[in-house]
Amino acid sequence: MDVKIEESWKKRLTEEFEKDYFISLTQFVREEYRMRQVFPPGNRIFNAFDLCPFDTVKAVIIGQDPYHNVGQAHGLCFSVTEGTVFPPSLVNIFKELNRDLGITMPRSGNLERWAKQGVLLLNAILTVRAHQALSHQNKGWEKFTDAAINALNRDREGIVFMLWGNYALQKGASIDTTRHLVLKTVHPSPLSASRGFFGCSHFSMCNDFLRSKGFEPIDW
């Protein structure tokens, strides 16, 4: 199957594209886009991979599924398109960035600037029906994104995995902590941010680790 995804990722994940689950997933997703309103736009489904090639990944942030309101999702977890009102979790991410590194609230919630520096902003589920959170859960995306995480875990060293909330913690449970830095805290949602996300200092800890490995830090 010819999947339109960045070439270095295609090489790493090519076996997944021929598996039964991925063929079934592709059929499901095509039908959903044909019959319903689905996010992100079809050409942005693999945006996280396209903006962050395999060998450039320095850090990974794991989300659950795309924003499901009009004009928000564009294939990067927690990120929104230019000019879109910041969702509450993204507001809290920027608040922690300000507390941790003194970075003022940006004008844009588009995190492509992070992706282009090596931050893989990966949702576990890559598509969603409009206004129906988790509507594409258990269709196969989770297996696919597990394969991506496993490839990084196995074939790279010195990556920072930032796991926020129970879902991300479960998703990253098998990461080899002798080869990578795993940072864990609660989700930045308003429901939980005050229980540990605020004050976690993940952004400065990520950069300190990258520097210790001889890598350029992320300009958050």
Residue 185: phi and psi, rounded to 5, are -160, -175
CA distance 160 to 170: 16
CA distance 133 to 20: 25
Which residues on adjacent β-strands are paired with residue 120?
60
Which amino acid makes up residue 183?
Answer: L
For the question of residue 65 being annotated catalytic, the response is yes
**Residues sharing a CB contact under 8 Å with residue 109, sequence separation 6 or more, in sequence order:** 79, 80, 84, 86, 87, 90
- Which of the residues 2, 65, 146, 219 is marked catalytic? 65
**Cβ proximity of 206 and 182 under 8 Å:** no
CA distance 43 to 135: 19
CA distance 66 to 80: 10
**Cβ proximity of 69 and 23 under 8 Å:** no
**Residues sharing a CB contact under 8 Å with residue 203, sequence separation 6 or more, in sequence order:** 96, 97, 100, 101, 218, 220
Element (H, E) at 210: helix 202-212
Active-site residues: which are they? 65
